[in-house]
Amino acid sequence: MVKIMMIVLVLLALYWLVPYVFTAVFGIGALKRKAYSEKIAFTFDDGPNPIYTPQLLDLLKINKIKATFFVVGSKAEKYPELIARMHNEGHLIGMHNYVHQSNWVMAPWTLRRHLSKTASIIENITGERPVYYRPPWGLLTLLDFLLMKKYKIIHWSVMAEDWSSTGGSEKVKKRLLGNIKRGDVILLHDCGETPGADEDAPMNTIHALKVVFKELSSRGMSCVRMDEL
């Protein structure tokens, strides 16, 4: 029995942990930062959200910044006008599963069906089929890693833990300004309705970005979409 349990644990480690180490730690099979680039990319997960996404889009427009949104398919389906606005204002739209559920607890065929559905939802709104994909929490399985060649998988190099309201906008601002370097992919959120997140947390992110965008501009940093990084 002990031997069987050890075999199961090894197989699970191979199926879950190895692809995570490859992508999250070493950036193999996924882009987590663009070495030697002079630019940076802001990315926003978990939306769209009818309260926070419009405010974020307003702020991006004021600062003339193009970003990348990894949207949840079911929310894109519910708020197509926000997806249309993202597209019309020049932002890149990627996928973040049809529901915010970890790949580790989904069968590979279920994930593929969900991604295909999400891609079709976005394509029907924008006329463009998305190819950029960020798995929730950055978690991939071994089969995802080996078989999802038609998608460009995006990880991140800077996060501000902005899913939590603890520390307010000051925490988000300090973590971003203290860590962003040229070539970075920055992970933020425009929705707080996912497991483990605080519902009002995106407001802190928006307040912090009002300062962060101006400071990065004074540093001469250019903010672009993922496909322009």
Looking at the annotation, which residues are catalytic? 45, 189
Distance CA 212, CA 63 (A): 11
Verify cis geometry, omega within 30 degrees of 0, for the bond prior to 195: no
Nearest to 135 by CA among 32, 216, 8, 14: 32
Distance CA 91, CA 213 (A): 16
Distance CA 133, CA 31 (A): 10
Q: How many CB atoms lie within 10 A of CB 81?
A: 11
Distance CA 197, CA 205 (A): 13
Tally of CA atoms within 13 A in the half-sphere of 218 that contains its CB: 6
- Give me the residues paired with residue 45 across strands: 70, 189
The residue with tokens 């197509």 is 80
Residue 33 structure tokens: 């930062």
Any residues with CB less than 8 A from the CB of 94 and at least 6 apart, and which? 43, 68, 69, 70, 71, 130, 131, 132, 133, 134, 154, 226
